[in-house]
Structure 1
Amino acid sequence: MSECTSANVRSSIADWASVPVSSITSQTQLDGLGGKSWPDDAPSLVTVLESLCDTTIPQEDYELFEDVEDIENYLGIEGPSNE
């Protein structure tokens, strides 16, 4: 099983949006990423993150996420220190 790390979360976000993982930073906006609409297109990513991090993310919570940092903070993980 994968670990709930910043690298794995960002990889999942990149896969979801069909963008290179190198383009994902803590400040990357979720709405519009790779043509996705947030939160309308969020459920498929949320399902992956819930499995990755063994948690539940209610819709009323993920609707408030604006950028990658919001997801990482919610999941209680630290982003890379080099940003």
Structure 2
Amino acid sequence: MNRCWIPDLHQYEGPAYRAVVAAVETDIVTGRLRPGDRLPSQRVLADFLGLNVNTVNRAMRETARRGLTAANTRKGTVVLGPGT
């Protein structure tokens, strides 16, 4: 990913980890995130969003469980796409 994806979580309600998951899902559906895009590291996301790294980690585990992303040791978290 050439640009840094940092979502605006103010539009989402509920727990912060669910807001991050919803932002990933929304941005995939709208085309802001495309299959193959790399997300920032969990530490970078946590810093920019003002969240604990464990919260972002939980969100990324949930996006992977839903088939939206995949974690790769060398590439980080990569977007798979909707319902992949």
User: TM-score under structure 2 normalisation?
Assistant: 0.31
Bigger strand share: 2
Ranked by relative contact order (alpha carbons within 8 Å, sequence separation 6 or more), the top structure is 1
User: TM-score under structure 1 normalisation?
Assistant: 0.32
